Amino acid sequence: MAITAADIFKSVEDIRAQSPLIHNITNYVVMNNTANALLAIGASPVMIHAEEEVEDMAAMAGALVINIGTLSAPWVRGMFKAFAKATSSGVPVVIDPVGAGATPYRTGTVWDLIRAGRPTIIRGNASEILALTDNRLKTKGVDSIAASDDALYAARSISKTCRCAVCVSGAVDYVVEEERLVKIANGHPMMPRVTGLGCTASALCGVFAAVERDPLMATAKAMAVMGIAGEIAAEQSPGPGSLQMHLIDALYRLTKEDIERRLKVEG
């Protein structure tokens, strides 16, 4: 089924009406930006990682977003506890494998998480997704050194193994769920110059999954909204610093007409 601007904006309206609670176990670098982006789109973000309370929060959330950007042993224990509780409570789980392939500990942690339960969505850049299928692949920190279409085969393989939607983000975003495929060509070249916008995209996948039951559709809608907001922000921004500010404004002010005018989606 093709995704239309009306479909996407209906989910935006649902988010604004319901203000779903989104539990984020995320990294130090992006906490503030992620929380502000979720607030702007209409969600209610909470950034909790202490293992003593993550289970209680995960059980009541609309979605759980696990981002491994800044790992430590206590945080990893919290991730596993939250993941298990969310899964048993029927709460959708998004995993962002930040920097997978950079170190064995990082790659191994992601795979241990994935094997421990059934994620709803995995979203990463091409290098991160490729690293999840080849532990010999080394990545350049958190930056992708591959194009998104290079990782399509890996994304399909992960989707079949984990029975989840997988998003490969880049200049063109691909979302796969076994044999289904959606391609989103929205966005702006300045966006990779702002730290953590991939993490913001993963958080948006979480909030859309809280109101859209189909994981592939939720992910595609989130990536389209992220790309369109980035385009709107870039038109007002001379550089990356102001882009970050205007992106949050664009999420807050997003209209159905914005989506209809700009949407570039296939599938």
- Domains of the chain (ranges plus CATH)? 5-266 (3.40.1190.20)
Length of the chain, in residues: 267
Q: Tell me, what's the pLDDT at 161?
A: 93
Task: Please tell me the distance from the alpha carbon of residue 105 to that of residue 79, in angstroms, as a whole number.
Answer: 15
In tens, the pLDDT along 106-140 reads 999 999 999 999 999 999 999 999 999 875 555 54
Q: Tell me, what's the pLDDT at 137?
A: 52
Of residues 207, 212, 164, 165, the one with CA closest to residue 62: 207
Q: Tell me, what's the pLDDT at 142?
A: 44
Q: Which pTM does this prediction carry?
A: 0.94
Instruction: Please list the ranges in the chain whose pLDDT falls under 70.
Output: 1, 135-147
Find out whether 67 and 202 touch, Cβ atoms under 8 Å.
Answer: yes
Task: Please tell me the distance from the alpha carbon of residue 54 to that of residue 212, in angstroms, as a whole number.
Answer: 24
Q: Tell me, what's the pLDDT at 263?
A: 98
Q: Tell me, what's the pLDDT at 173?
A: 96
Task: Please tell me the distance from the alpha carbon of residue 127 to that of residue 141, in angstroms, as a whole number.
Answer: 10
Find out whether 182 and 216 touch, Cβ atoms under 8 Å.
Answer: yes
**Token pair for 65:** 């977003």
Of residues 184, 202, 189, 78, the one with CA closest to residue 129: 202
According to DSSP, residue 123 is labeled E
Find out whether 175 and 184 touch, Cβ atoms under 8 Å.
Answer: yes
Find out whether 220 and 3 touch, Cβ atoms under 8 Å.
Answer: yes
